[in-house]
């Protein structure tokens, strides 16, 4: 039986991580794949709070850039990997690889799509809606919106389920 | 018969207040519970325009902080109270109570949830989606997003109906 | 048979233009009505990319302000006009006409609604959600949100179909 790819998006504090977590907990052997790096105190607090919320029962893997390898190299016997989140990952890619002529961001996205098209286990991917506010004055922020939005479209397109969380309540997109 | 708690959210100018108003007008004895204080000219204009839009037939109560008491102390015989809006309320709480170690914001939110769990009449609560743009650079704005989003999740969770307005059109969340 | 008015909204990079384009391509004789003016390099790039994406088969008309006339004056025999987008148009109106006492913005919006109420052919209108982020500090941005949101509500109200795009996936609003 083909494993599921489940895409979960929503705004900040919309309940998307809690929804994804609850979904993941319906499986036995679970991996949490964290894309965030604690570059400051506020970020560390968020990471700690999320770790507390998910409790025991997850093996945590940290991978800010090479999601394709992290998913592709999971040991056999894993039932589900929860990736949280694609938007932070898009920011990491942009911070690390952005420069004129650089195609590495596209390559990393393609590599993720490749592994998701033949997933080694069920994959739940959390992402963020970042494009429904006023156009940012900052060119980097506009670029980031484009990259993050492109990732969302591509991952949602090949997912078997997609959900939009709003005020903690799920709307089925697919 | 248990009274209804109806949660109505949406972006700026999405038609959420008009939707809530129309809903409220299906009841006889109506109270409008305003959380906004006119601290500047633009705000006063918005308040005046909203007052004009809702016309006669509402008793207006202004309460920027203690929503639990304002709802709990409504005179008997009221059919519906329309609270507009939770996001301004979250901002008021933050402005008034935020300081290190201060738990008053959580207490005020819990007190509202308490009164909503045994509503004295039908309650319609308008709120805002503020978390679907780029992460704000300003730490206070991030904190506000967290508080407002948390309020939305908690109120939506105990509501009997929840709606997302988009371009004036309602999507049922619950 | 009455022609359709189809309203398509969504955040930045949500797939709204692609969805509208695909819809338009189900018709024979197509006009693309562009509201954007290339006032800088980034804008020119976006316009060029969009032009490339839609390929052959559209006659392109550029009209930043008088959408009513551009739609009303289409030659007969056209099956569909795709307007992309209303939010840029709202910005153009504001930039061009905003001043104390100026009613021209309202007049232009009313003129569009008039032509849409008796459409000369099928009309697909793309717009943007810009009101789901933090309230902008800039008063002009708040004003813009109000105008763009008002346009969305009015056009959606008279449309025969309305869609919200999210991560490339359509949610039917109407």
CA distance B141 to B164: 22
Tokens of A63: 């991978």
- Under an 8 A CB cutoff, do C174 and B169 touch? yes
Number of compact structural domains in chain B: 1
- CATH number at A112 reads 3.40.50.300
The H or E element spanning position C112 is: helix C104-117
Tell me how close the Cα of B162 comes to any Cα of chain A, in angstroms: 9
Catalytic: which of B18, B25, B38, B50? B50
- Under an 8 A CB cutoff, do A166 and B150 touch? no
Segment among A134-143, B6-15, B33-42, C119-128 with least mean pLDDT: B33-42
Segment among A88-102, A113-127, B57-71 with least mean pLDDT: A88-102
C161 phi and psi, to 5 degrees? -140, 145
- Under an 8 A CB cutoff, do C42 and A145 touch? no
- Does the pLDDT of residue B98 top 80, yes or no? no
Q: Do B116 and B5 meet the contact criterion of CB atoms below 8 Å apart?
A: yes
Catalytic: which of C29, C50, C96, C145? C50
Interfacial residues of C (vs B; Cβ cutoff 8 Å): 7, 9, 11, 127, 129-135, 139, 142, 145-146, 148-150, 152-157, 162, 164, 171, 173-174
CA distance A83 to A71: 9
The H or E element spanning position C93 is: helix C86-97
Tell me how close the Cα of C167 comes to any Cα of chain A, in angstroms: 4
- Under an 8 A CB cutoff, do B132 and C129 touch? yes
Active site residues of A: 50
In percent, the amount of chain A with pLDDT more than 90 equals 80
- The pLDDT value recorded for residue B56 is 75
Active site residue B41: no
- The pLDDT value recorded for residue A39 is 75
pLDDT digits 0-9 by tens, B54-72: 777 899 999 999 999 999 9
- Does the pLDDT of residue B12 top 70, yes or no? yes
- The pLDDT value recorded for residue B101 is 57
Contacts of B133 in chain C (CB under 8 A): 132-134
Q: How confident is the model at residue B108 (pLDDT cuts 50, 70, 90)?
A: very high
Q: Over chain A, what is the mean pLDDT?
A: 93
C54 phi and psi, to 5 degrees? -85, -10
Contacts of B9 in chain A (CB under 8 A): 166-167
Q: How confident is the model at residue B1 (pLDDT cuts 50, 70, 90)?
A: low
Which residue of C lies nearest to B146 if distances are taken between CA atoms? C134
Contacts of C11 in chain A (CB under 8 A): 129-132, 149
CA distance A155 to A150: 9
- Under an 8 A CB cutoff, do B11 and A136 touch? no
In percent, the amount of chain A with pLDDT more than 70 equals 98
Average pLDDT over every residue of A46-53: 78
- The pLDDT value recorded for residue B100 is 64
Touching chains, A (3+ CB pairs < 8 A): B, C
Average pLDDT over every residue of A122-126: 98
Nearest to A132 among B127, B132, B153 (CB): B132
Touching chains, B (3+ CB pairs < 8 A): A, C
- Under an 8 A CB cutoff, do C129 and B133 touch? no
CA distance B149 to B151: 5
Nearest to C168 among A130, A134, A157 (CB): A157
Tell me how close the Cα of C113 comes to any Cα of chain A, in angstroms: 24
Tokens of A92: 């990491």
Q: How confident is the model at residue A94 (pLDDT cuts 50, 70, 90)?
A: very high
- The pLDDT value recorded for residue A98 is 75
Average pLDDT over every residue of A9-13: 97
CA distance A13 to C165: 20
pLDDT digits 0-9 by tens, B81-91: 999 999 999 99
Average pLDDT over every residue of A78-83: 97
Contacts of C131 in chain B (CB under 8 A): 10-14, 129
3-state secondary structure of C172: strand
The residue segments making up the domain with residue B67 are 5-172
pLDDT digits 0-9 by tens, B114-153: 999 999 999 999 999 999 999 998 999 999 999 999 999 9
Average pLDDT over every residue of B91-96: 93
Interfacial residues of B (vs C; Cβ cutoff 8 Å): 10-15, 42, 129-134, 136, 141, 144-145, 166-169, 171
- The pLDDT value recorded for residue A100 is 64
Tokens of B173: 């969340």
Average pLDDT over every residue of A108-132: 97
Nearest to B162 among A10, A144, A169 (CB): A169
Q: How confident is the model at residue A101 (pLDDT cuts 50, 70, 90)?
A: low
CA distance B32 to B124: 10
CA distance A120 to C90: 48
Written as tens digits, the pLDDT of chain C (174 aa) is 679 999 999 999 999 999 999 999 999 999 999 999 877 887 788 778 777 777 778 999 999 999 999 999 999 999 999 999 999 999 999 999 877 657 999 999 999 999 999 999 999 999 999 999 999 989 999 999 999 999 999 999 999 999 999 999 999 999
CA distance A69 to C151: 46
The residues, any chain, with a CB within 8 Å of residue B141's CB and separated by 6 or more, are C134
Q: Over chain B, what is the mean pLDDT?
A: 93
CA distance B1 to A7: 39
- Under an 8 A CB cutoff, do A129 and B132 touch? yes
- Under an 8 A CB cutoff, do B132 and C134 touch? no
- The pLDDT value recorded for residue C52 is 77
């Amino acid at each position: 039986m083909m494993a599921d790819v489940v895409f979960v998006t929503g705004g900040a504090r919309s309940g998307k991580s809690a929804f994804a977590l609850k979904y993941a907990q319906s499986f036995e052997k679970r991996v949490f794949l964290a894309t965030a790096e604690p570059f400051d105190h506020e970020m560390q607090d968020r990471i700690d709070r999320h770790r507390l919320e998910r409790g025991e029962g997850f093996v945590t893997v940290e991978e800010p850039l090479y999601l394709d390898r992290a998913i592709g190299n999971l040991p056999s016997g894993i039932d589900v990997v929860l990736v949280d989140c694609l938007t932070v990952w898009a920011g990491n890619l942009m911070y690390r690889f952005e420069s004129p002529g650089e195609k590495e961001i596209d390559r990393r996205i393609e590599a993720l799509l490749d592994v998701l098209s033949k997933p080694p286990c069920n994959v739940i991917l959390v992402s963020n809606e970042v494009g429904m506010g006023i156009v940012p004055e900052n060119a980097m922020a506009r670029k980031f919106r484009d990259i993050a939005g492109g990732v969302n479209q591509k991952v949602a397109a090949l997912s078997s389920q997609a959900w939009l969380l709003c005020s903690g309540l799920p709307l089925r997109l697919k």
